[in-house]
């Protein structure tokens, strides 16, 4: 049972985290990064972050599904009949939960910060890793989170292009278009500049029909592409700090302290609740509330309920901390209540829980 539960937990967690990673890659990642070499470290970093967040949910769903099948196949009744106690029956799941909790703390304290470093590096360095010499003519290149379009007709020399067109779109609806017969890439250590001769600049504000046209003899533009030096990030974020550095980073103004507490809860809540989620799910399955054959919707409801509850808890934690850091005590109280619920539902007799959840069945027996 232990090995089957462990494999099922890894499979469920991997599927959930992979789905969310793919969705975010194709919805939030700029195309300049999505179709560059930076996509692989970005995907791996994002996967490690989401795996850590989904681990308690994946373990609980796998255990609930597994024990529901045992109940439906009458295996649990056989175990009870042969003298196994309730603790002996749930012991494999409890061992998986404890192992997942330990692994979850390792992920949240070690691998998740590394994953954030990979994600931030990819988002920053991805667009800047594009070397102008690798561009192909007669193609439209999307840059700056889809706000800029770059095009040129052909190469003249190793660093000079012809028939240049560039368009930039702003959030307020205004547009700027630049065209030039020739352009030359000039590399600096941090970026590649584009020098345009005899350029035509067209600007159009939101709501205007006709643009304003200006002829410019010489124009320098930051292409946003790689320069002569290897690009490097100059800033470090809280999410990518290791455990020791993160613990020592609780300083600064009130806003920074709120961000620190928000990140601290993100690192600690999922591993702590792993055992609680699993115990509640397994208890409901053993009570017959996740019927597999006659009413499979009950099992689906339990699994969806665990996921929704986990999402609300994490989002609510973020919202409360950003509002007032003193609300962290309310979050601690909620976590304590969650743990208490997990203990209570596994201490009270099955008949009492079943009568409390399904009072109508008690009246029918009477």
Read off the pLDDT band of 181 (50, 70, 90): very high
Distance CA(55)–CA(124), nearest Å, equals 28
Q: Are 47 and 141 in contact (CB under 8 A)?
A: no
Mean pLDDT value of segment 181-194: 90
Contact (Cβ atoms closer than 8 angstroms) between residue 357 and residue 289:
yes
CA–CA separation, 323 and 193 (whole Å)? 43
- What tens digit of pLDDT does each residue of 47-101 get? 999 999 999 999 999 988 888 888 888 888 888 888 888 788 888 888 998 999 9
The answer for 252, left when phi > 0, alpha when psi is -120 to 50, beta otherwise, is left
What's the whole-number mean pLDDT along residues 244-261?
83
Q: Report the distance separating Cα 64 and Cα 57, nearest Å.
A: 10
Is the predicted pLDDT of residue 366 greater than 50, yes or no? no
φ/ψ (deg, to 5) at 292: -90, -35
Q: What is the pLDDT of residue 362?
A: 47
Q: What is the predicted pLDDT for the residue at 164?
A: 94
Pairs from 166-170 (Cβ < 8 Å, separation ≥ 24): 166/194, 166/221, 168/144
Is residue 8 a contact partner of residue 66, using CB atoms and an 8 Å limit? yes
322, burial (CB in 10 Å: exposed 0-12, middle 13-18, buried 19+): middle
Please, which residues have CB within 8 angstroms of residue 51's CB and are 6 or more apart in sequence?
A: 13, 14, 17, 107
**What is the C-alpha separation between 346 and 91, in angstroms, rounded?**
12
Percent of the chain with pLDDT over 70: 90
How confident is the model at residue 288, as a pLDDT? 65
Mean pLDDT of 316-344: 85
Q: Report whether 139 contacts 164 (CB < 8 A).
A: no
Any residues with CB less than 8 A from the CB of 33 and at least 6 apart, and which?
39, 42, 122, 123, 126, 127
Which tens digit of pLDDT belongs to each residue from 93-127?
889 989 999 999 999 999 999 999 988 888 777 66
DSSP H or E segment with residue 193: strand 192-204
What DSSP designation does 288 have?
T
Band of pLDDT at residue 285, cut at 50, 70 and 90: confident
* pLDDT band per the 50, 70, 90 thresholds, residue 361: very low
Name the average pLDDT for the chain.
83
53: left (phi over 0), alpha (psi -120 to 50) or beta: alpha
Report the percent of the chain where pLDDT is more than 90: 27
* Dist CA 248 CA 246 (whole Å): 5
Residues 6+ apart with CB under 8 A from 280: 60, 306, 341, 342, 345
> Which pLDDT score is estimated for 125?
72
Q: Give the C-alpha separation, 111 to 109, whole Å.
A: 6
**Where in the chain are the domains?**
2-127+237-359, 132-225
Cβ atoms of 180 and 199 closer than 8 Å: yes
Task: Give dist(CA 163, CA 150) in Å, integer.
Answer: 11
Taking the CB of residue 9, how many other CB atoms lie within 10 A of it?
27
pLDDT for the residue numbered 206: 82
> At 135, is the secondary structure helix, strand, or coil?
coil
């Amino acid at each position: 049972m232990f090995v089957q539960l462990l494999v099922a937990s890894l499979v469920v967690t991997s599927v959930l985290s992979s789905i969310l990673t793919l969705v975010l890659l194709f919805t939030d990642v700029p195309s300049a990064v999505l179709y560059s070499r930076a996509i692989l470290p970005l995907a791996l970093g994002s996967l490690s972050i989401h795996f850590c967040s989904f681990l308690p949910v994946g373990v609980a769903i796998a255990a609930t599904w597994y024990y529901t099948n045992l109940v439906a196949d009458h295996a649990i009744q056989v175990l009870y009949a042969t003298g196994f106690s309730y603790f002996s029956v749930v012991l494999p799941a409890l061992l998986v939960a404890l192992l997942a909790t330990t692994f979850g703390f390792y992920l949240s304290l070690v691998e998740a910060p590394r994953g954030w470093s990979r994600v931030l590096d990819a988002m920053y360095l991805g667009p800047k890793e594009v070397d102008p010499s690798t561009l192909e003519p007669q193609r439209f290149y999307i840059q700056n989170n889809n706000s800029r379009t770059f095009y040129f007709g052909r190469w003249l020399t190793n660093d000079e292009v012809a028939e240049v067109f560039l368009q930039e779109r702003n959030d307020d609806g205004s547009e700027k278009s630049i065209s030039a017969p020739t352009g030359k890439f000039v590399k600096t250590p941090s970026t590649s500049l584009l020098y345009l001769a005899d350029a035509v600049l067209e600007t159009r504000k939101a709501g205007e029909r006709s643009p304003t046209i200006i002829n410019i003899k010489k124009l320098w533009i930051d292409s946003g592409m790689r320069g002569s030096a290897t690009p490097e990030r100059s800033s470090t974020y809280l999410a990518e700090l290791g455990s020791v550095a993160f613990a020592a980073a609780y300083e600064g103004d009130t806003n920074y302290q709120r961000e620190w507490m928000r990140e601290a809860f993100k690192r600690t809540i999922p591993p702590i609740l792993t055992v609680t989620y699993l115990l509640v799910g397994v208890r409901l399955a053993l009570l017959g509330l996740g019927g597999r054959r006659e009413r499979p919707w009950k099992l689906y409801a339990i699994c969806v309920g665990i996921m929704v509850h986990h999402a609300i808890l994490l989002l609510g934690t973020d919202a409360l901390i950003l509002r007032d850091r003193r609300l962290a005590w309310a979050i601690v109280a909620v976590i304590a209540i969650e743990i208490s619920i997990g203990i209570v539902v596994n201490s009270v007799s099955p008949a009492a829980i079943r009568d409390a959840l399904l009072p109508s069945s008690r009246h029918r027996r009477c």
